[in-house]
Amino acid sequence: MKTTLDINDALHARAKALAAQLRMPLTRLVEVAIEEKLRQPGRPGTPAKRFRVRAFDLGMKAGYRGMNFNHLASELEDEAILQKMQRSRGPRGST
């Protein structure tokens, strides 16, 4: 099928140069580019590729399991503040 495309001059020049470098006609380069774009995941109606996520032991304290992220962040921040206060006071028992 023949069609007419309006392509800006800079894009046309880049496409023509790439087609020459790949030793293929510009028409074939346009076909390949369109086919590739249509195969990309994330297109409406195209299911995304499945992937597996590996779990790693992060060494978290048992008390933190099951918390939502904001609650966990708050707990960790409180713990850091307490540790900082204890360091600034020095060893226990000395005032």
On whether the pTM is more than 0.85, the answer is no
Does a structural domain hold residue 30? Answer: yes
Q: Which tens digits make up the pLDDT trace of 16-48?
A: 999 999 999 999 999 999 988 888 766 666 667
Confirm whether 58 is domain-assigned. no
Return the exposure string of 57-88: e unless at least 16 CB atoms fall within 10 Å of the residue's CB, then b: eeeeeeeeeeeeeeeeeeeeeeeeeeeeeeee
- Total structural domains within the chain: 1
- Distance CA(50)–CA(28), nearest Å, equals 31
Q: Domain limits at 35?
A: 9-39
In a domain, 69, yes or no: no
